[in-house]
Amino acid sequence: MSFEEEKKYCRLNRRWQMWVNEKHCQLCGEIIEDYEHSSVDHIIPISKGGKDIESNVQITHVWCNNQKGNLLPWQDKIFRFLTKHFLKIRKGKINRKL
């Protein structure tokens, strides 16, 4: 096994371990039904100085992780909140006459 392969294997193994321990997405709170749908998210993105250590990783859906991208946790929360409310307004669930 080459070094790169070994590194990839370790990463996959970590994701598997995390998914086995916690099957709920740490971003949206929904269950991650399929291992293939799971993704390891860096809470503080590597690009923002976060480290690749246990305390800085969490299990999430692939799509939730993609949505979060390089946002910091609080930025992601605001983004999520706005998206949710925007959708509600669009669906007419919020009374705009208020």
> What does the binding site for Zn ion look like in residue numbers (CB under 5 A)?
25, 27-28, 61, 64
Q: Which is nearer to Zn ion, 30 or 52 (CB)?
A: 30
C-alpha to C-alpha distances, 88 to 40, 84, 91, 93, nearest whole angstrom: 29, 6, 5, 5
Q: How far is CA 49 from CA 11, 43, 46, 85, in A?
A: 19, 11, 5, 31
- Closer to Zn ion by CB, 28 or 72: give it: 28
Closest residue (Cβ) to Zn ion?
25
CB of 64: closest distance to Zn ion in angstroms? 3
Q: Which is nearer to Zn ion, 9 or 63 (CB)?
A: 63
